[in-house]
């Protein structure tokens, strides 16, 4: 077992020498990727069809179920802040992942019981009946207990799993850095592979054979995920927690506020301000930046500040090092980029909620057969396009771009995000055009059936939904992967779990924002002369108008992102490793990313 801790190994000639952990790199990947694959097969196999489960088994209305899913997803993602805090402060990523994996397994087991035991869900609806009995308070309580365990599991797994995998590569070697770059792409590839299997095989079993069996399969796969994770324990690099990074951030802000009336030195602030760095710190030594100069006042040494013999401050709430200050700047600089992602995720939310309802009222038959593709399975086309695009991008496009830009990544992280945001706008416009076509055909031509509790099924083939899903997948391949990479590389090493939780908090706020937007549009339009845009029966609704509304919001979001990207400065270390990975070729603008 290799542990990357804060212990001092030896001293040589007065200098502290830190023991270098044994990074196994690709040797640890079978266990981590195996754990990831089975974990995603399990959790995604459960969540992918959860909307249909709530509307068909628990008899919830579409709007109620959609809002509940958005709130559940939002809470799972917001919980990552708490998971990241416990990981970075007390337990480390390894223990947090182990505990969270067990919690997810228990949550899925309880959810499986709600389908397997008849007393734990409402009775089936009578044929041709529009009024179905809803769940009792006891059935709701059992369902929410499953959600609670799943939320605890997601809160620990999501902020830690990616960072834990990247910890297995040595960031101080060229092969380690290249391995890390490829790991982000291939990590997402395994994610999409698991998603495709979940959206086809598992969703089919749930929708067409048995909900109990369809939920039991992912529960068993989640159990396998736990086994894979613990089997590889002996060869993992386990980065031990150094204490709360949030405390260090608060110390800088408090110290800067206390010294707000002091004047900063005019020249060479790095040399003239307090800059003690603990020899046991796992963080790279950061270069000085001019942004947020008011924070530098936290490092002004006065007569009231006292130091210990080894050079550290006696009161970290009055005096902080410039290293601490630069670490806080890394986090603050990332916030505008993070906020631009919140509105972007609204597009992805539509592809997993209202697209399912579109599919339900489209002709899902394959050819002239009676086999119907489950509505929730259509999302697999988004995953398929993403899975096809990632290897092409990683193995063909990136090497080509490297020759042009002379950088390891081909294009910068923020440029990748920008491409994805543009594609997201196109995705929503295409979605609106296709929905209008589906609705017009349903109203002007013979329908091919009736969807229970909704309305007529349009004769437009469900395969017309593929273009918008393919575009969403390519957009996700650019923006989400770039954001995963961004938060891992731009946050200090001891805050990488917290950085991962930043990404998922964006997902959370986006889920709540989607739910809020849906509720507002429903409330405003339900009594309007033009009809309810989000009616239960999409043939009576104007979902295309809603999609155009989201597209307009995405255009505004892209403009905001361009401003943030031009202003942003990449993290630079004095060793130069981060610079080599992040800067663009133009040396005079090495701190700026121009999209």
Tell me: the pLDDT tens digits for 447-458? 888 887 788 888
**Residue 504 above 80 pLDDT?**
no
Per-residue pLDDT at 515: 83
pLDDT in tens, 218-237: 888 888 888 878 887 777 77
Q: How many whole angstroms separate alpha carbon 72 and alpha carbon 60? A: 15
14 CB-near residues (< 8 Å, 6+ apart): none
* Band of pLDDT at residue 571, cut at 50, 70 and 90: confident
**Residue 468 above 90 pLDDT?**
yes
Mean predicted confidence (pLDDT) in 29-56: 71
Percent of the chain topping pLDDT 90: 13
Q: How many whole angstroms separate alpha carbon 272 and alpha carbon 279? A: 20
* Helix boundaries (H) for 353-412: 354-360, 380-392, 398-405
Cα-flanking dihedrals φ and ψ of residue 439, to 5°? -70, -45
CA 189 to chain centre: 14
Per-residue pLDDT at 81: 81
Q: Where does residue 585 rank: exposed (0-12), middle (13-18), buried (19+ CB within 10 A)?
A: exposed
String of DSSP letters for 467-498 = HHHHHHHHHHHHHHHHHHHHHHHHS-GGGHHH
pTM above 0.85, yes or no: no
**Residue 208 above 50 pLDDT?**
yes
Is residue 11 helix, strand or coil? strand
More confident residue, 303 or 435: 435
Which uninterrupted H or E stretch holds 237? Answer: strand 237-239
* Band of pLDDT at residue 5, cut at 50, 70 and 90: very low
Query: Which candidate, 349, 457, 48, places its Cα nearest to that of 214?
Result: 48
* Band of pLDDT at residue 188, cut at 50, 70 and 90: low
pLDDT in tens, 320-337: 888 888 888 988 998 999
Q: How many whole angstroms separate alpha carbon 589 and alpha carbon 477? A: 27
* Band of pLDDT at residue 26, cut at 50, 70 and 90: low
Tokens 């594609």 sit on residue: 423
* Band of pLDDT at residue 194, cut at 50, 70 and 90: confident
Beta-carbon neighbour count of residue 182 at 10 Å? Answer: 16
Report yes or no: 375 and 463 within 8 Å, Cβ to Cβ: no
pLDDT in tens, 512-531: 888 889 889 988 888 877 78
Domains of the chain: 24-124+133-232 (1.20.1250.20), 245-324 (no CATH), 330-571 (1.20.1250.20)
Per-residue pLDDT at 173: 66
The Cα diameter of the chain in Å comes to: 87
Is residue 569 helix, strand or coil? strand
Per-residue pLDDT at 466: 92
Token code pair at residue 399: 């090497």
pLDDT in tens, 385-432: 887 888 888 788 888 888 887 777 778 889 889 999 999 999 999 999
């Amino acid at each position: 077992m290799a542990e990357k801790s804060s212990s001092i190994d030896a001293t040589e000639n007065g200098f502290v020498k830190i023991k270098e952990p044994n990074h196994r790199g690709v040797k640890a990947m079978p266990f981590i990727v195996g754990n990831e694959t089975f974990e995603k097969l399990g959790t995604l196999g459960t969540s992918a069809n959860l909307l249909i489960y709530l509307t068909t088994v628990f008899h919830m209305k579409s709007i109620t179920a959609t809002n509940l899913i958005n709130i559940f997803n939002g809470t799972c993602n917001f919980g990552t802040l708490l998971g990241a805090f416990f990981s970075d402060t007390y337990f480390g990523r390894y223990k947090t992942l182990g505990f969270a994996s067990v919690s997810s397994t228990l949550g899925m087991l309880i959810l499986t019981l709600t389908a397997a035991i008849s007393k734990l869900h409402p009775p089936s609806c009578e044929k041709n009946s529009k009024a179905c009995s809803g769940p009792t308070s006891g059935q709701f309580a059992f369902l929410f207990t499953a959600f609670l365990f799943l939320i605890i599991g997601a809160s620990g797994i999501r902020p830690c799993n990616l960072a834990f995998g990247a910890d297995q590569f040595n960031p101080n070697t060229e092969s380690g850095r290249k391995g890390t770059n490829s790991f982000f792409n291939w990590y997402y590839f395994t994610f999409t592979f698991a998603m495709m299997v979940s959206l086809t095989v598992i969703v089919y079993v749930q929708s067409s054979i048995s909900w109990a069996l369809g939920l039991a399969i992912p529960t068993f796969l989640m159990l396998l995920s736990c086994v894979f994770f613990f089997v590889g324990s002996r060869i993992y690099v386990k980065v031990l927690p150094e204490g709360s990074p949030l405390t260090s951030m608060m110390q800088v802000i408090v110290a800067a506020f206390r010294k707000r009336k002091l004047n900063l030195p005019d020249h060479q602030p790095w040399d003239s301000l307090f800059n003690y760095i603990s020899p046991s710190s796992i963080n790279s030594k950061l270069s000085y930046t001019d942004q947020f100069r008011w924070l530098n006042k936290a490092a002004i040494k006065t007569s009231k500040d006292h130091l210990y013999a080894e050079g550290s401050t006696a009161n970290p709430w009055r005096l902080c090092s410039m290293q601490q200050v630069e670490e806080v700047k890394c986090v603050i600089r990332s916030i505008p980029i993070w906020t631009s992602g919140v509105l972007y995720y609204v597009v992805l939310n539509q592809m997993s909620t209202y697209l399912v309802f579109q599919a339900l009222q489209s002709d899902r038959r394959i050819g002239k057969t009676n086999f119907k593709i489950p509505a929730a399975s259509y999302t697999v086309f988004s995953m398929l396009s993403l899975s096809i695009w990632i290897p092409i991008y990683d193995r063909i496009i990136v090497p080509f771009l490297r020759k042009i830009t002379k950088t390891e990544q081909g294009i910068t992280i923020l440029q990748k995000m920008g491409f994805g945001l543009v594609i997201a706008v196109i995705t929503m416009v295409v979605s609106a055009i296709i929905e209008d076509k589906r609705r017009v055909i349903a109203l002007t031509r013979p329908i091919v059936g009736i969807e229970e509790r909704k309305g007529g099924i349009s004769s437009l083939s469900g395969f017309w939904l593929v273009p918008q899903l393919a575009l969403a997948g390519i957009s996700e391949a650019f923006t989400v992967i770039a954001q995963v990479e961004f938060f891992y590389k731009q946050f200090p090493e001891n805050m990488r779990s917290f950085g991962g939780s930043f990404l998922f908090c964006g997902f959370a706020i986006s889920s709540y924002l989607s739910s809020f937007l849906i509720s507002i549009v429903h409330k405003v339009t339900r009594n309007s002369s033009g009809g309810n845009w989000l009616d239960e029966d999409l043939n009576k609704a104007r979902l295309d108008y809603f999609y155009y509304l989201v597209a307009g919001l995405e255009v505004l979001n892209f403009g905001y992102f361009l401003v943030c990207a031009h202003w942003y400065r990449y993290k630079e270390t004095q060793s130069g490793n981060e610079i080599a990975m992040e800067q663009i070729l133009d040396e005079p603008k090495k701190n700026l990313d121009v999209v």
